[in-house]
């Protein structure tokens, strides 16, 4: 079955734009291009992801943005850009991100990327510095597969292996906690005894890593999703570019995931939520959803799966300096009655 083109006009019942500006009337609040907003128990996920066009997903409460796309305005507020690879639809806004943060008086942006492309990323920034005529304060940190970097106390980013046509890596956000050893917790020892043990150099805690978000960027091979920390992350954001049966070869050549590969590994995933990103712009979203539903119908074990761009909506922001994304929750029935 051939997928309808994503550009085919379809009836729209698009809701009115959400107002993120408090009491400011809509005409005073400029609209952003449509961005997806997903609320999870751990953070909001905000961004846009269409293959070959743009991929950028921000976790504002965690101060990170996965890839940078064309750098939509809200993502400027994240101090860390986790760049999976150098393809233009994932990296085009990099220099703008760093320059705008500098221009608006923010702390210098930090780009964390695969070590294999760190010099190239620095070279791009150097070229833009020459064009702008001023130095842009920034950091570029290259990580090898399995390396870690502390974003803030207790929040760690670790790279994991992906396979694409250029050097690439996925990123895993870990909530790292120090927990009292079970054998000591069972004894219910008073605090001063535990402090004395620690002062004597005894190890009284163990490290517990809770995988929060795994983001693949572009990748082939379903086995990518079965790595420790990826398979069991609370939230998995994975590409799945191709859905048409005739596009298996195209997926292999471009080293992207096809829905058939995704379905093969889906029963083994332990995630609370799987968000599909990077859908081909040749494919209409609603059609892809129906194909996925059919493919998943026979599965007994399956996590919750949603398309990231199914959450797209028009957002409004205050004019002026970039500000952190502030979601406005829909009014409840009780709120309406109180009013």
| pLDDT single digits (tens) 247-300 | 999 999 999 999 999 999 999 999 999 999 999 988 999 999 999 999 999 898
Q: How far apart are CA 235 and CA 245, in angstroms?
A: 27
The residue-averaged pLDDT of 13-33 equals: 49
Within-domain flag for 154: yes
Within-domain flag for 5: no
Residues of 176-185 as b/e, b for ≥16 C-beta within 10 angstroms?
eeeeeeeeee
Is the dihedral angle over the CA atoms 247, 253, 258, 261 positive or is it negative? Answer: positive
* Secondary structure of 184-218 in HEC code, one letter for each residue: HHHHCCCHHHHHHHHHCCCCCEEEEEEEEEEECCC
Structural domain total, the chain: 1
pLDDT tens digits, 184-201: 888 888 888 888 888 988
CB 216 within 8 A of CB 240: no
The residue range of the domain holding 152 is: 36-323
Within-domain flag for 27: no
DSSP-derived 3-state class of residue 236: strand
Determine phi and psi for 85, rounding to 5 degrees: -165, 180
Q: Hey, which residues does 293 pair with through a beta bridge?
A: none
Within-domain flag for 338: no
Q: Hey, which residues does 109 pair with through a beta bridge?
A: 138
Within-domain flag for 1: no
Q: How far apart are CA 6 and CA 280, in angstroms?
A: 9
Within-domain flag for 15: no
Within-domain flag for 19: no
**Between residues 14 and 32, the one the model is more confident about:** 32
Question: Domain of 272: which CATH number?
Answer: 3.60.15.10
| pTM as predicted | 0.84
Within-domain flag for 116: yes
Determine phi and psi for 237, rounding to 5 degrees: -110, 110
């Amino acid at each position: 079955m051939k997928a309808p083109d994503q550009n085919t006009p379809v009836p729209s019942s698009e809701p009115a734009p959400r107002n993120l500006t408090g009491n400011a009337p809509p005409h005073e609040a400029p609209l952003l291009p449509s961005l997806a907003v997903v609320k999870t128990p751990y953070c909001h996920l905000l961004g846009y992801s269409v293959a070959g066009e743009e991929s950028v997903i921000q976790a504002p409460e965690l101060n990170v943005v996965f890839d940078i796309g064309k750098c939509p305005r809200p993502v400027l507020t994240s101090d860390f850009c986790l760049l999976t690879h150098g393809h233009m639809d994932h990296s085009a806004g990099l220099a703008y991100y760093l320059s705008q943060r500098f221009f608006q008086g923010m702390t210098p942006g930090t780009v964390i990327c695969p070590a294999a492309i760190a010099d190239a990323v620095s070279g791009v920034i150097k070229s833009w510095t020459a064009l702008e005529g001023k130095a842009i304060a920034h950091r570029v940190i290259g990580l090898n597969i399995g390396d870690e970097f502390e974003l803030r106390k207790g929040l760690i980013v670790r790279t994991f292996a992906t396979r694409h046509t250029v050097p690439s890596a996925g990123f895993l956000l870990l909530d790292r906690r120090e927990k009292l050893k079970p054998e000591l917790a069972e004894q219910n020892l008073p605090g001063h005894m535990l402090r004395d043990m620690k002062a004597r150099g005894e190890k009284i805690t163990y490290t517990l890593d809770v995988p929060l978000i795994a983001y693949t960027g572009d990748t082939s091979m379903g086995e990518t999703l079965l790595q420790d920390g990826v398979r069991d992350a609370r939230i998995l954001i994975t590409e799945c570019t191709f859905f048409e049966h005739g596009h298996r070869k195209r997926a292999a050549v471009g080293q992207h995931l096809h829905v058939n590969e995704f379905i093969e590994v889906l029963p083994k995933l332990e995630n609370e939520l799987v968000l599909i990103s990077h859908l081909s712009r040749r494919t209409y979203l609603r059609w892809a959803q129906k194909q996925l539903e059919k493919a998943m119908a026979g599965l007994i074990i399956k996590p919750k799966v949603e398309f990231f761009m199914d959450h797209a909506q028009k957002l409004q922001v205050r004019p002026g300096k970039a500000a952190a994304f502030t979601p406005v929750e829909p009014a409840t029935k009780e709120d309406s009655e109180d009013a």
